[in-house]
Amino acid sequence: MLKIVPVLLTFNLCSKLRVTGGRVSQRISPNPPKSFLSQNDSGNYEVRKRKRIVEDEDDDLEDHLEKQEQRSSKHESRTRQHPSTEPKQQNGPPPLPDRSAMREKLLGSSQCTEDGNVEETPEQVWTKKNPWTTNVRDAERRREDDPNYDPSTLYIPAAPFEKLTPFQKQFWNIKKDHFDVLLMFKKGKFYEMYDRDADIGASVLNLNYTGGGRVDMRCVGVPEQAFAKHLARLVEAGYKVGRVEQTETTNAAKKRRKSHEPAAKSQICQRALVRIVTKGTVIDTDNLASHQQRYVLAVEELVDEGTNRATVGVCYVDASENAVYVGEFEDDERRTWLETLMVLLRPKEIVINCMRVMSTAFQQITSYQRSQGVALMKTAGTLNTNVEFPSHVKEYLEEHKSAEAAMGVCRKYFQYLRIENEVFSMGNVKIQSVVRGSQLQDMDADKKHLVLDACTLSNLEIFANNHDGSERDTLFSFVDHAVTAGGKRLLRTWLAKPLYSAKAINQRLDAVDALGTLLDNTADHLEIRNLFASFGDVERGLARIHSTAAAEETVVMFDDTNKRKVIDFVKVVKGLKTGLEILDRIAHEWQRMPDCTSQILDSLLDGEESIPNDATEKLDYFFTGAFDFVEAERGEVKPPIGESGDPEYLAALGKLEDVDRELESELEMWREELGERSLRWYHRGKEGYQLEVPKKWFKPGRRIPGEFTPMSDSQTGKRFWTPRIQELYRRRVDASEGLSDQESGLFKKVLSRFDESYNCWSSIAEVVSKLDALMSSATLRKRSGHQLCRPEILENTTDRPVLILKNAYHPLVAEKMDGGTAASFVPNDTKLGGDDPMLVLLTGPNMGGKSTILRQTCIAVLMAQIGCYVPADACTITPVDRIFTRIGAQDRITRGQSTFMVEMEETAMLLNCATRNSLLVLDELGRGTSTFDGYAIAHAVVDEILTRACRTLFSTHYQFLTKEFAKHPEAAVYEMAAKVRNHTMIILSARYRAACLKRIHRQSRRSMRNARTSRSCTSSHPALHLSVVVSTVRGWQISHPPWRMPRTNVPGLSKTP
- Give the pLDDT confidence of 12-26 residue by residue, as tens digits: 333 333 333 333 333
Q: What is the CA radius of gyration of the chain?
A: 37
Domain co-membership, 765 together with 870: no
- Give the pLDDT confidence of 620-629 residue by residue, as tens digits: 988 887 888 8
- Give the pLDDT confidence of 859-878 residue by residue, as tens digits: 999 999 999 999 999 999 99
Q: Do 866 and 499 touch, CB atoms closer than 8 A? A: yes
Top pLDDT among 643 and 48 is at 643
CA angle 493, 495, 499 (to 5 degrees): 95
**Which pLDDT does position 822 carry in this prediction?**
62
Query: Quick check: is 375 in a domain?
Result: yes
**Cα–Cα nearest to 712, from 740, 688, 737:** 688
The arithmetic mean of pLDDT across residues 878-891, rounded, is: 85
Domain co-membership, 803 together with 759: no
- Give the pLDDT confidence of 918-929 residue by residue, as tens digits: 999 998 888 778
**Which pLDDT does position 734 carry in this prediction?**
87
**Which pLDDT does position 409 carry in this prediction?**
92
Alpha helices per DSSP H over 625-680: 629-632, 647-674
Q: Is the pLDDT of residue 323 over 50?
A: yes
Domain co-membership, 386 together with 256: no
**How far, in Å, CA of 682 to CA of 903, rounded?**
79
Per residue, the 3-state secondary structure of 859-891, as one string, reads HHHHHHHCCCCECCCEEEECCCCEEEEECCCCC
Check residue 752 and give left, alpha or beta (phi > 0: left; psi -120 to 50: alpha).
alpha
**Which pLDDT does position 849 carry in this prediction?**
83
Count of structural domains, the chain: 4
- Give the pLDDT confidence of 221-258 residue by residue, as tens digits: 999 888 988 998 999 898 999 999 888 766 666 666 66
- Give the pLDDT confidence of 446-468 residue by residue, as tens digits: 568 898 888 888 889 998 888 88
**Which pLDDT does position 71 carry in this prediction?**
46
Q: What number of other Cβ atoms are within 10 A of residue 657's Cβ? A: 12
Residues 6+ apart with CB under 8 A from 903: 886, 889, 925, 927, 928
List, in sequence order, every beta strand (DSSP E) within 451-528: 451-452
Q: Is the pLDDT of residue 133 over 60?
A: yes
Q: Residue 191, SS3?
A: strand
Domain co-membership, 73 together with 208: yes
Percent of the chain whose predicted confidence (pLDDT) is above 90: 32
Query: Quick check: is 698 in a domain?
Result: no
Q: Which of 405-409, 950-954, 1013-1017, 1046-1050 has the lowest mean pLDDT?
A: 1046-1050
Burial class (CB in 10 A: 0-12, 13-18, 19+), 599: middle
HSE (CB half, 13 Å, CA atoms) of 700? Answer: 0
Query: Quick check: is 1031 in a domain?
Result: no
Q: Is the pLDDT of residue 1057 over 90?
A: no
Q: What number of other Cβ atoms are within 10 A of residue 936's Cβ? A: 27
Top pLDDT among 476 and 989 is at 476
CATH number at residue 362: 3.30.420.110
**How far, in Å, CA of 337 to CA of 332, rounded?**
8
**Which pLDDT does position 931 carry in this prediction?**
83
Q: Residue 315, SS3?
A: strand
Top pLDDT among 138 and 647 is at 138
Domain co-membership, 268 together with 302: no
- Give the pLDDT confidence of 784-830 residue by residue, as tens digits: 678 899 999 999 888 899 999 999 999 988 887 766 666 678 888 99
Check residue 818 and give left, alpha or beta (phi > 0: left; psi -120 to 50: alpha).
left
- Band of residue 443 on the pLDDT scale cut at 50, 70, 90: very low
Q: Is the pLDDT of residue 542 over 60?
A: yes
- Beta bridge pairs of residue 38: 46
Q: Do 754 and 621 touch, CB atoms closer than 8 A? A: no
**How far, in Å, CA of 250 to CA of 268, rounded?**
10
Residue type, 671: R
**Which pLDDT does position 579 carry in this prediction?**
94
Q: What number of other Cβ atoms are within 10 A of residue 25's Cβ? A: 14
Q: Is the pLDDT of residue 1017 over 50?
A: no
**Which pLDDT does position 258 carry in this prediction?**
64
Q: Is the pLDDT of residue 635 over 50?
A: yes
Q: Is the pLDDT of residue 76 over 50?
A: no
Tell me what the pLDDT averaged over the chain comes to. Answer: 77
What percentage of the chain's residues is helix, strand, coil (to nearest 5)?
A: 40, 20, 40
**How far, in Å, CA of 933 to CA of 1015, rounded?**
13
List, in sequence order, every beta strand (DSSP E) within 58-136: 111-112, 118-119
**Which pLDDT does position 840 carry in this prediction?**
92
Q: Is the pLDDT of residue 370 over 60?
A: yes
- Band of residue 343 on the pLDDT scale cut at 50, 70, 90: confident
Query: Quick check: is 229 in a domain?
Result: yes
The arithmetic mean of pLDDT across residues 345-362, rounded, is: 88
The arithmetic mean of pLDDT across residues 265-272, rounded, is: 75
Domain co-membership, 559 together with 603: yes
Q: Which of 312-316, 570-574, 823-827 has the lowest mean pLDDT?
A: 823-827
**How far, in Å, CA of 571 to CA of 3, rounded?**
66
Q: Is the pLDDT of residue 1024 over 70?
A: no
The arithmetic mean of pLDDT across residues 198-211, rounded, is: 90
- Band of residue 85 on the pLDDT scale cut at 50, 70, 90: very low
Chain centroid to CA 358: 25
Q: Which of 13-17, 128-132, 810-814, 907-911 has the lowest mean pLDDT?
A: 13-17
The arithmetic mean of pLDDT across residues 142-149, rounded, is: 90
Residues 6+ apart with CB under 8 A from 25: 18, 19, 114
**Which pLDDT does position 992 carry in this prediction?**
53
Q: Is the pLDDT of residue 972 over 80?
A: yes
- Do you find a cis peptide bond into 1041, omega within 30 degrees of 0? yes
CATH number at residue 510: 1.10.1420
The arithmetic mean of pLDDT across residues 982-994, rounded, is: 58
- Give the pLDDT confidence of 28-43 residue by residue, as tens digits: 333 333 333 344 444 4
Q: Residue 807, SS3?
A: strand
**How far, in Å, CA of 773 to CA of 495, rounded?**
11
Q: What are phi and psi of 178, to 5 degrees?
A: -140, 55
Q: Is the pLDDT of residue 444 over 90?
A: no
Q: Do 807 and 829 touch, CB atoms closer than 8 A? A: yes
Provide the b/e sequence for 280-307 (b: ≥16 CB within 10 Å): bbbbebebbebbbbbbbbbbbbebeeee
Mark which of 441, 461, 481 sits at the end of a domain. Answer: 441
**Which pLDDT does position 818 carry in this prediction?**
63
Percent of the chain whose predicted confidence (pLDDT) is above 70: 74
Domain co-membership, 205 together with 255: yes
Q: Is the pLDDT of residue 531 over 70?
A: yes
Tell me the longest C-alpha to C-alpha distance in the chain. 130
Q: Is the pLDDT of residue 485 over 80?
A: yes
**How far, in Å, CA of 904 to CA of 793, rounded?**
33
Query: Quick check: is 703 in a domain?
Result: no
Q: Is the pLDDT of residue 999 over 70?
A: no
Domain co-membership, 340 together with 425: yes
Q: What number of other Cβ atoms are within 10 A of residue 851's Cβ? A: 19
Residues 6+ apart with CB under 8 A from 179: 136, 138, 151, 152, 153, 154
- Band of residue 78 on the pLDDT scale cut at 50, 70, 90: very low
**Cα–Cα nearest to 584, from 562, 611, 608, 609:** 611
**Which pLDDT does position 832 carry in this prediction?**
93
Domain co-membership, 265 together with 172: yes
**Which pLDDT does position 737 carry in this prediction?**
83
CA angle 554, 559, 563 (to 5 degrees): 75
CATH number at residue 226: 3.40.1170.10
**How far, in Å, CA of 539 to CA of 766, rounded?**
8
Q: Do 777 and 512 touch, CB atoms closer than 8 A? A: yes
- Beta bridge pairs of residue 192: 185, 221
Domain co-membership, 233 together with 350: no
Burial class (CB in 10 A: 0-12, 13-18, 19+), 317: buried
Mark which of 277, 304, 325 sits at the end of a domain. Answer: 277
How long, in residues, is the chain? 1057
**How far, in Å, CA of 352 to CA of 1031, rounded?**
35
- Give the pLDDT confidence of 430-440 residue by residue, as tens digits: 887 655 433 32
CATH number at residue 888: 3.40.50.300
262 lies in which domain range? Answer: 50-277
- Band of residue 9 on the pLDDT scale cut at 50, 70, 90: very low
Query: Quick check: is 341 in a domain?
Result: yes
**Cα–Cα nearest to 1055, from 951, 947, 954:** 947
| Concatenated DSSP letters of 888-949 | S---BGGGTB-HHHHHHHHHHHHHHH--TT-EEEEESTTTTS-HHHHHHHHHHHHHHHHHHT
Provide the b/e sequence for 959-995 (b: ≥16 CB within 10 Å): bbbbbbbeebebbbbbbbbbeeeeeeeebebebeebe
pTM equals: 0.74
**How far, in Å, CA of 642 to CA of 98, rounded?**
64
Domain co-membership, 217 together with 68: yes
Query: Quick check: is 458 in a domain?
Result: no
Query: Quick check: is 1004 in a domain?
Result: yes
Mark which of 772, 804, 819 sits at the end of a domain. Answer: 772
**How far, in Å, CA of 965 to CA of 971, rounded?**
6
Domain co-membership, 564 together with 629: yes
**How far, in Å, CA of 52 to CA of 871, rounded?**
62
DSSP structure class, residue 358: P
